[in-house]
A and B are shown apart, each in its own frame.
Chain A
Amino acid sequence: MKRKTFKVAGAALAALIAGAAAAQDVGVTDSEILIGEVLMLSGPAAFIGKSAAAGSKLAAAEINAAGGINGRKLKVLYEDDGYVPARSVSAMRKLVDVDKVFAVTGTTGGSGVTAVLPVLDDAKVPTIVHVAPNPTVLNPRRPSIFMIGPDYDLAAYQSIRHAVEKMGKKGAKFGLIYQNDDYGKSVLKGYQQAMKDFGLNSVAELPYQRGAKDFSAEALRFKSAGVEVLYLGTVIAEAGGILSESRRLNAEMTVLGNWAAGLPATIRLTAPSGYDYLFNDYYAALTDPAGQKFVESAKNHLSADEVASLSRYAVSGYVAMKVMGEAISRCGKAVTRPCVIAELGKLKDFSTGGLSGPISLDNPAGHAVPALKLFQVDTKTSSVKALTDFATK
């Protein structure tokens, strides 16, 4: 009897130890799960990083307020890289090697993303890239790294498709202005694909160097080429420059852009030109019903400064954290990196409550390409209105 009791007790102890070991992967304790983010909280793109951080903080706060994930609270550690790739790497190393985070949901922007991927890949950290989605993240495929967001080529393609199919611009003269870098080349690719697929007439495709301020020559070239539909492959301030000069030349055009053209700062600069341009995004505007709900929740959980920083990048950070939370919760009590990576890879049609289309990562690339939604800028009120719902076409 004694021997039997001893055996049962031993088995129970072994199970407990095994269970505890399984539940306590790096960055996981009985009460807490550590998540890391490297973002550009200072430097030229700080407004993106701060907004993304506010979004993920909100998601974590909501999850924790609802009791956490299977009893464990999320704790998010933020590191600032100042938008400098060398700092991105050291910041990510600190999170992974020193702070020992379990997962990563923020991986900075620009070339900093590419720079941190080897660190994450070596340690097999479950990672979601969302701030600067670009094809190099998933090529080559790194099993622990997932990405949310379409590339800019799809955005260009879809809005040109809309112009052709819904706005009757099939016979129009098209023009493109794009930044002479990876971002711009991606836009160019989508634009040229649309020209080819829909049999359109592109009369001007003009690159500009990053940092350009004066677009008078470009606007004049578009005007003299008779451009009727202009696609903006610009970042923020450049859109204001090109549209202001186009207005000076009295150029009547339909103007299209991607989510960079829908940022509040861009709209502030473009509004005086009076072009009520269209742009698409895979996230809701903060003025959409889902966006308003998001802002209300932020007011309950975040500081006034953080609420003021909200933008589409906050929605991006929020969605990424919710996706990671969902994958962790599906692992139950045994939260391990392999389990979370497997669950991320199985995620299909995850609902974000209207903040985006359904998120699916269950594809060989581990790439969620949410449906895009079309918006139009109202220059009189400097606001945006949704023209469509999230749709793949």
Chain B
Amino acid sequence: MEYFVNLVASGLVAGSVYAMIAMGFAMIYRATGMLNFAQGELMMLVAYIAFGLASTFGANLPVLLAGVFVAAILLGLLIERVFIRPMMGEPMFSRVMVTIALAVVIRGVTILIWGQEPYAMPRLLGTELIRIGPVSFYPAQVWTLVMVAVLCVVTWVFFNRTRFGVVMRATANSESTALLMGVNVRLVSAVAWAVSACFAAAAGLAFAFMFSVEPDMSSMGLRAFPAAILGGLDSVLGGALGGLVIGVVENLAGGYLGRGLKEIAGFLLIVVVLMVRPYGLFGQRHIERV
């Protein structure tokens, strides 16, 4: 039993990173109806910025958090203004291609500045193990779990209890109707990108503190994509749950089956779930009368 509990606990930790990236995917999809394939690269870039602040400038934790989230918001706004807004009204395919190009650019620039070698993030969160029942956690792992929980609560409140959240939902439902109703769609798009970048920042920080800072970490974007699909692409909270589920399933597969099945277990789960619920666990079912 202890073995099972440990697998589930560490699966939740690993899944937390997927969850935060998936929330970023869903945030943009929900507000603008498009997929951002640069989410993993955005996460990587912010992690490098965090690494730079901590190692080069010796930032302590509060300064680091403030710096990273401010940088993420600015990055999100900049990307939206420079790359996304000019594409408004263009075919979805073109808009998605822009995000793919953006991913390549971010990756290239990051490597240009920091190089290819992996780095260890300064241990600002401490190294003393925290024991919860039969499971020991590093402080960074607990921090990651808490971060996901906080993001979920804030997201729920934002979408259900704030006027702007309702406006974003309305825009996602029908952009043209929202425009006719006087909604500032440009602002909605800008806020969605800024918030999505904050999700990427949280994921990047979690990854950096738990593993390392390296260009290859951007691949987590694609690894987290099934989490977004599983939860439902238009459900931010669904993305979070999808990430956690995939993390646990992968770990259970690794712990009980092995043979390298860990990495494909999440994708197998997606295939099965989508056959039953093509719109994901929490996605909205679109019905058209013909």
Q: Which A residues are within 8 Å of any B CB, using their own CB?
A: 43-47, 180, 206-209, 211-214, 216-218, 220-221, 224, 236-237, 240-241, 244-245, 248-250, 265, 268-269, 271-272
B115 touches A240 (CB 8 A): no
> Cβ of B263: which chain A residues have Cβ within 8 Å of it?
208-209, 211-212
Q: Classify the secondary structure of A's interface with B.
A: helix
A240 touches B259 (CB 8 A): no
B116 touches A214 (CB 8 A): no
A220 touches B6 (CB 8 A): yes
B258 touches A221 (CB 8 A): yes
A217 touches B7 (CB 8 A): yes
By the criterion of a CB under 8 Å from any partner CB, how many residues of chain B are at the interface? 40
| A44 with B215, Cβ < 8 A, contacts A221-B255, A221-B258, A237-B118 known | yes
Of the residues A47, A216, A218, A249, contact of B116 by C-beta under 8 Å: A47
Question: Which stretch from B10-18, B68-76, B79-87, B277-285 is at the chain A interface?
Answer: B10-18
Lowest 9 A-B CB distances belong to which pairs?
Answer: A217-B254, A216-B10, A214-B14, A209-B263, A217-B255, A207-B260, A237-B118, A217-B251, A265-B117
B258 touches A46 (CB 8 A): no
> Cβ of A45: which chain B residues have Cβ within 8 Å of it?
116
| A269 with B120, Cβ < 8 A, contacts A217-B262, A237-B214 known | yes
B137 touches A237 (CB 8 A): no
Q: Does B217 contact A (CB under 8 A)?
A: yes
A44 touches B216 (CB 8 A): yes
Given contacts A180-B260, A214-B251, 5 further A-B contacts (CB under 8 A): A43-B116, A211-B263, A213-B14, A237-B212, A241-B212
B9 and chain A: residue at smallest CB distance: A216
> Cβ of A211: which chain B residues have Cβ within 8 Å of it?
216, 219, 263
| A213 with B211, Cβ < 8 A, contacts A207-B259, A224-B3 known | yes
> Cβ of A269: which chain B residues have Cβ within 8 Å of it?
118, 120, 212
A272 touches B219 (CB 8 A): no
A49 and chain B: residue at smallest CB distance: B116
B136 touches A249 (CB 8 A): yes
Of the residues A44, A218, A272, contact of B127 by C-beta under 8 Å: A272
B3 and chain A: residue at smallest CB distance: A224
Q: Classify the secondary structure of B's interface with A.
A: helix
Q: Does B63 contact A (CB under 8 A)?
A: no
**Distance A44 CA – B263 CA, assembled complex (angstroms):** 21
> Cβ of A180: which chain B residues have Cβ within 8 Å of it?
260
Q: Does B159 contact A (CB under 8 A)?
A: no
**Distance A245 CA – B135 CA, assembled complex (angstroms):** 12
| A248 with B136, Cβ < 8 A, contacts A214-B10, A237-B216 known | yes
> Cβ of B143: which chain A residues have Cβ within 8 Å of it?
none
Q: Which B residues, 177 to 217, have Cβ-Cβ distances below 8 Å to chain A?
A: 207, 211-212, 214-217
> Cβ of A46: which chain B residues have Cβ within 8 Å of it?
115-116
**Distance A46 CA – B254 CA, assembled complex (angstroms):** 32
B262 touches A220 (CB 8 A): no
Minimum Cβ distance to chain A for residue B72 (Å) = 21
**Distance A260 CA – B41 CA, assembled complex (angstroms):** 26
**Distance A236 CA – B253 CA, assembled complex (angstroms):** 24
B108 and chain A: residue at smallest CB distance: A42
**Distance A141 CA – B137 CA, assembled complex (angstroms):** 52
B263 and chain A: residue at smallest CB distance: A209
A208 touches B117 (CB 8 A): no
A83 and chain B: residue at smallest CB distance: B116
Minimum Cβ distance to chain A for residue B155 (Å) = 24
B222 and chain A: residue at smallest CB distance: A211
**Distance A271 CA – B122 CA, assembled complex (angstroms):** 12
A184 and chain B: residue at smallest CB distance: B260
A43 and chain B: residue at smallest CB distance: B116
Minimum Cβ distance to chain B for residue A321 (Å) = 24
Q: Does B161 contact A (CB under 8 A)?
A: no
> Cβ of A268: which chain B residues have Cβ within 8 Å of it?
118-120
Of the residues A221, A240, A248, A250, contact of B212 by C-beta under 8 Å: A240
> Cβ of B123: which chain A residues have Cβ within 8 Å of it?
272
**Distance A217 CA – B251 CA, assembled complex (angstroms):** 6
> Cβ of A207: which chain B residues have Cβ within 8 Å of it?
258-260
Of the residues A206, A213, A220, A244, contact of B3 by C-beta under 8 Å: A220
Q: Which B residues, 1 to 57, have Cβ-Cβ distances below 8 Å to chain A?
A: 3, 6-7, 10-11, 13-14
**Distance A217 CA – B11 CA, assembled complex (angstroms):** 8
Of the residues A206, A236, A245, contact of B258 by C-beta under 8 Å: A206
**Distance A237 CA – B217 CA, assembled complex (angstroms):** 11
CB-defined A-B contacts under 8 Å, sample of 29:
A44-B215, A44-B216, A45-B116, A46-B115, A47-B117, A180-B260, A206-B258, A208-B262, A209-B262, A211-B263, A214-B10, A216-B6, A217-B251, A217-B252, A218-B254, A220-B3, A220-B7, A220-B255, A221-B258, A236-B118, A237-B216, A249-B6, A249-B136, A250-B136, A265-B118, A268-B119, A269-B118, A269-B120, A272-B127
